[in-house]
Structure 1
Amino acid sequence: MAEEKNQEMTEETVETIFEEETEVNSSEQIETKEKEESDANDAIEELQKKLDESENRYLRLRADFDNFRRRVQIDREANEKYKAQSLVTNLLPAIDNFERAMQITPEDEQAKQLMQGVEMVYRNIIDALKQEGVEVIEAVGKEFDPNFHQAIMQGEDENFDSNIVIEEFQKGYILKDRVIRPSMVKVNQ
């Protein structure tokens, strides 16, 4: 009987120790699982942040590329629209000389024929420039506009209101919507 009691106590002690070890092991396992889950959640959050950063970077790069493409298209259109600007700028002094030459009154028949030839060449050049979108800036009788006129003198003329162009010294030209050269004018006070 004493042996049976001893054996029962030993079995109870073993069961108690086993239960305690099981509880310790299960609590350690729970802690380990919680730590693993926490580490996994941290890793997921880190990866999510990296993904978000990559997506933001991608969207910014795409927007930059779209803006670049739009700027290139605008530049290309402007270059096409104003391709004749340098040619027109270089031709303006020659046109001015043609206009001065046509102001001379020829005295003999040969000079009159030469003047007709000069006028024909002048008209051909002006027509070609008009086809490219070049227009003469209207000045005399118009209100002074610093966007189109360059005032080099002021004068008084009772026939014109104040701030009206009364005389043009040099013609101005526009290519499409861009001023190539402003008109040199005299403005009424």
Structure 2
Amino acid sequence: MSNEKNIAEQEEVVDITQDEEVKVSDDQVEVIESDEPKANEDKSDEKIAELETKLEEAENKALRAQADFDNFRRRTRLEQEAAQKYRAQSLVSEIIPALDNFERALQIDADNEQTKSLLQGVQMVYNQLVQALQNEGVEAIKSVGEQFDPNFHQAVMQVEDENYDSNIVVEELQKGYKLKDRVIRPSMVKVNQ
């Protein structure tokens, strides 16, 4: 009969809520009420929210770092392209005054064969220098008869000439040069009022 009593006790229906913990041993069923599951659930929800926030912050940092790196690579590439494009700028800046001197020398009138021969040699050297600069992308800025542009021209005088419209370059006093799309030296010009 004691076996039947134990079986009857084990078969007894026990109403267990979510807040209760059940411990089963060989001969008995013990019901223990506990507040720990609620506290554990709250703690785990807080922990999940905290971890999600940290994950989101880490993802944002990673995206910002990637964007900074992409910007750095793009800037470096553009700087390298500009350096390659304008690599001859300092050399051109130093050669331009020599071209000015060659042009002045070529304006001399030759009165004998020796002077003519010397001028011909100077002309040949001048042409080679101009050709070498053109191969690097250097070109003279057109001025006379052009509309005055402060990006390419430096006005040093103004004149009144009825043969030209207003704000037109009348005379070039010193040649200007540009390397590809960058002005190395603006043209010094006279401008009509």
> Are 2:109 and 1:77 aligned?
no
| Residues 126-165 of structure 1 aligned to structure 2 (within 5 Å) | 126-165=130-169
Query: What value does the CA root-mean-square deviation take over the aligned residues?
Result: 1.3
| TM-score of the aligned structures, taking structure 2 as reference length | 0.83
Secondary structure at the counterpart of residue 161 of structure 2: coil
C-alpha separation between the residues in 2 aligned to 1:41 and 1:93?
A: 78
C-alpha separation between the residues in 1 aligned to 2:189 and 2:74?
A: 40
Q: Give 1:103's match in structure 2, choosing from 83, 107, 111.
A: 107
Offset, 1:26: 4.0
By percentage of residues, which structure has more strand? 2
Runs of 5+ unmatched residues, structure 2: 1-19, 22-30
Aligned residue identity for 1:103: Q
Identity of aligned residues (%): 60
Runs of 5+ unmatched residues, structure 1: 1-21
Offset, 1:156: 1.1
C-alpha separation between the residues in 2 aligned to 1:26 and 1:159?
A: 112
Offset, 1:108: 1.0
| Residues 11-160 of structure 1 aligned to structure 2 (within 5 Å) | 26-27=32-33, 29=34, 31-160=35-164
Offset, 1:37: 0.9
C-alpha separation between the residues in 2 aligned to 1:135 and 1:174?
A: 6
C-alpha separation between the residues in 2 aligned to 1:39 and 1:56?
A: 26
| TM-score of the aligned structures, taking structure 1 as reference length | 0.85
Offset, 1:104: 0.6
Q: Which runs of 4+ in 1 moved over 2 A?
A: none
Offset, 1:150: 0.2
